[in-house]
Chains A and B, each alone.
Chain A
Amino acid sequence: MWNMLRQASGGDISQKNLALIEGLLDILIEHRPWLEKQTMLFRAVVYTYVRLLEDHRSPLLVNLRNKEIKFIISLIRENFIDVLPLGRDFVRFVYLKNHFFFVSFIRNFIYRFQATAKCCHDSRI
């Protein structure tokens, strides 16, 4: 299962990869009591699907996305003690899902910086 999970690639929304992600999700949902006893695999599943959610923003993927959200949120809330060792990179994914302003703030300062750089360049000329 661990090796199959690794094949569910991030940054890839091809039909083949999505079929693997959804197929694995269905197996995990069906065997949830077993999954909750495999601590390391459980953490890898939470980490993987919290990460993969980032790629599934398209309206075409709404069914898969909703299924992922429902399963993962329930896993996290009911087994939070097992989620704790996932640490700061788990927080990074949850943080990014709640801070779209973070992206706009970064964009703003990139534009502002480019404008400043252009001004300095022009003044040198």
Chain B
Amino acid sequence: MIPEFEQLWNDILVNPSSLLSTFTGVWELLQTRTSRRYLICRLTPDVERKLHFFATNVRFGAHKRYQDWFQDKYFTTPESHSLRSDLIRFIINAIHPSNDMLSSDLIPRWAIIGWLITSCTNPTALANAKLALFYDWLFFDPLKDNIMNIEPGILVMCNSIRNHPLVSSTLLDFLCRIMKNFYPQYESKIRRGVYNSLRKILEKQVRPWLSGILDKFFISSFVLRSFKIWLHFSNRQNWTEN
């Protein structure tokens, strides 16, 4: 822990007006999407160029050698794993493929993110990478936020079921637990964000249904049950509010 940052975090949560008289609290910051300009600034131009090439020029199926090159160049040391969450935030927020690209045989964003997550060997960096993947889900506002920011999360989960069921289930497990634990005081708002994300995914037909996916998950029955109960509860709450 860094005492100076602990104090800053405490002021943001408990005493926001001490920082700025008009600042209402952490939720105000969480509702502001970070400009891609700043996300890009955390990648060197070299990494950005290579990742952009990877996402827009490489065929799905012929991607292995590019991954290996990237791995050999940028992920050789234990501390280099922290770069993964920067890359995931960049892919989610700054690489938004056109419809033509989506229907082509280019490697999709979810496959790149899936690779970044599954090849991570550092538990701290892995947890940060998963948070980076689902971060926009937690505060998703259908009126302001873009479906492209939540699309990779659901697609990594869905498309890994057949070949990497453990990846899918640990990601869903992570999502369920982070909703409750990210910041308990805002649990209901965060649940609403995730619920809004799932509704948007169904509405835009990124995945036309979710029940089949949940049934196929090789996941502890506790998590699956709590997720289904939560979905049911959110649904009822939504009807009541409307």
**Counting CB contacts under 8 A, is B68 at the interface?**
no
Q: Is there a chain B Cβ closer than 8 Å to A102's Cβ? A: yes
Taking CB atoms and an 8 Å cut-off, the chain A residues in 74-114 that contact chain B are 76-77, 80-81, 84-92, 94-98, 100, 102-103, 105-107, 109-110, 112-113
Judging by beta carbons under 8 Å apart, are A88 and B83 in contact? no
Contact of B12 among A3, A87, A94, A110 (CB under 8 A): A94
Question: Which residues of B sit under 8 angstroms from A97, Cβ to Cβ?
Answer: 1-2, 5-6, 9
List chain B residues, Cβ under 8 A from A89.
Answer: 34, 38-39, 89, 135
Distance in Å: Cβ of B74 to nearest Cβ of chain A: 8
**Please, how many angstroms separate the alpha-carbon atoms of A13 and B227 in the complex?**
41
- B9 surroundings in chain A (CB, below 8 A): 94-95, 97-98
B79 on the A face (CB < 8 A):
yes
Q: Are A94 and B5 CB-contacts (below 8 A) given A89-B34, A89-B89, A113-B170?
A: yes
From B2, B82, B127, give the contact of A102 (CB < 8 A): B127
* Interface of chain B residues 116 through 131 with chain A (CB within 8 A): 123-124, 126-128, 130-131
Residue among B30, B80, B174 making CB contact with A12, cutoff 8 Å: B80
The stretch of B20-28, B105-113, B232-240 that contacts the partner chain: B20-28
Taking the closest CB of chain B, its distance from the CB of A44, in whole angstroms, is 5
Judged by a CB distance under 8 angstroms, whether A23 is at the interface is: no
* B86 nearest CB neighbor, chain A only: A10
Chain B 1-33 interface mask (CB, 8 Å, partner A; 1/0): 110111011001000000110010010111111
Q: Is B173 an interface residue, CB under 8 A from the partner?
A: yes
Q: Is the interface of B mostly helix, strand, loop or mixed?
A: helix
Q: Is B42 engaged at the interface, CB distance under 8 Å to the other chain? A: yes
Q: Which chain A residues lie closer than 8 Å to B162 at the CB level?
A: none
Do residues A106 and B29 form an inter-chain contact, with CB atoms below 8 A?
no
Q: Which of A11, A51, A69 has the most CB of B within 10 A?
A: A11
Which residue of B is nearest A88, CB measured? B30
> Is A113 a contact of B220 with CB atoms below 8 Å?
yes
| B181 in contact (CB, < 8 A) | yes
Pairwise interchain contact B123-A5, C-beta atoms closer than 8 A: no
Q: Is the CB of A86 within 8 A of B123?
A: no
Interface residues in B121-180 by Cβ distance below 8 A to A read 123-124, 126-128, 130-132, 135-136, 139, 166, 169-170, 173-174, 177
The answer to whether A105 and B34 touch (CB under 8 A), given A6-B45, A73-B8, A81-B20, is no
Pairs of residues from A and B, 9 with the lowest C-beta to C-beta distance, nearest first: A87-B32, A11-B83, A89-B34, A106-B127, A11-B80, A80-B19, A87-B34, A80-B20, A11-B82
Add 19 more A-B contacts to A10-B83, A87-B31 (CB < 8 A).
A9-B44, A11-B77, A13-B77, A81-B20, A87-B34, A88-B32, A88-B34, A91-B29, A92-B131, A92-B132, A94-B8, A96-B128, A100-B1, A102-B181, A103-B124, A106-B123, A107-B123, A109-B177, A110-B123
Where the two chains meet, the residues of A that have a C-beta atom closer than 8 Å to any C-beta of B are: 2-3, 5-7, 9-13, 40, 43-44, 47-48, 51, 53-55, 69-70, 73, 76-77, 80-81, 84-92, 94-98, 100, 102-103, 105-107, 109-110, 112-113, 116-117, 120
Q: What are 17 A-B pairs with beta-carbon distances under 8 A?
A: A2-B41, A7-B44, A11-B74, A11-B82, A47-B41, A77-B8, A84-B28, A86-B32, A87-B30, A87-B34, A88-B32, A88-B135, A91-B29, A94-B5, A96-B131, A106-B127, A107-B123
